[in-house]
Amino acid sequence: MARLLRPQLLRPLLPQRARPHRRYLPDHRHRLLPNLGVKDAFVLIRRGDTQTAVHLSDAIDQDRLNQHVGGYRIEVIEPLRRLRVILEETEGIAVDLTWQGLFDVVQEQPHVLRSGNRITLDAQRFAQLGSWSGRIGIDGEEIAVDPATWIGSRDRSWGIRPIGEPEPAAGRPTRRSRACGGCICRWPSTTSASC
């Protein structure tokens, strides 16, 4: 039988007036979509009932270790322990935050989904708890981010996953010409192709 926590253990550790950051909820994401040739990012800040977001997108370049999209970038200071997230002032939002992992990362089991014989999801991720320090600037307001009170989680995922657009239906090739491997292949009525 599960033991219930006493209600006083669920109260915040600090009184509300000592937690001014509770008025803000920042979120950010960076992703690579190699099959589409796209990289994108967003930074979102929620202040009370107001939400402000910046979305950035660009073509993928060959430097995969340099994680950046426009004025947004992630700098790995110490792998799996410390990183820096920067958004140069864009549409009224700027961030310069440093993440410090408080615990080791926890790697999840792979997630695999199939649709018939096709794999539609084959992804994995790790999660980590840590603290943030630095600053957030929004519409001229400067918010100090103190690691003693700005605690959060991060995750890093990779793999194959649907992105919202339907995949083309697979089927038997038609008799019309198709480009393949640098040559034009004609698909005859038999199952073999000749180039």
The DSSP line for 115-163 is ETTEEEEEEEEEEEEEEEEEEEEETTEEEEE-TTT-EEEEEEEEEE---
DSSP state of 16: G
**Which is higher by pLDDT, 161 or 183?**
161
**Mean pLDDT of all residues in 145-159:** 92
Would you say residue 102 lies in a domain? yes
Does residue 40 register a pLDDT over 80?
Answer: yes
Would you say residue 170 lies in a domain? no
Mean pLDDT (the chain) is 79
Would you say residue 4 lies in a domain? no
Would you say residue 193 lies in a domain? no
Q: Find the CATH number of the domain harbouring 151.
A: 2.40.370.10
Would you say residue 195 lies in a domain? no
Amino acid identity at 29: R
Q: Encode pLDDT of 57-73 as tens digits.
A: 999 998 888 899 999 99
Q: Encode pLDDT of 51-109 as tens digits.
A: 889 999 999 998 888 899 999 999 999 999 999 999 999 999 999 999 999 999 999 99
Range of the domain at 137: 16-163
Would you say residue 125 lies in a domain? yes
- Judge contact between 159 and 124, C-beta under 8 A: yes
Would you say residue 82 lies in a domain? yes
Which residues have C-beta within 8 Å of that of residue 72, sequence separation ≥ 6? 28, 30, 41, 43, 54, 56, 85, 86, 87, 88, 90
Amino acid identity at 181: G
Side-chain-side CA neighbours of 118 within 13 Å: the count stands at 9
- Overall number of domains in the chain: 1
pTM over 0.85: no
Lowest-pLDDT range, 6-15, 29-38, 56-65, 68-77?
6-15
Would you say residue 25 lies in a domain? yes
Amino acid identity at 150: W
Residue 184: its pLDDT value, please?
A: 37
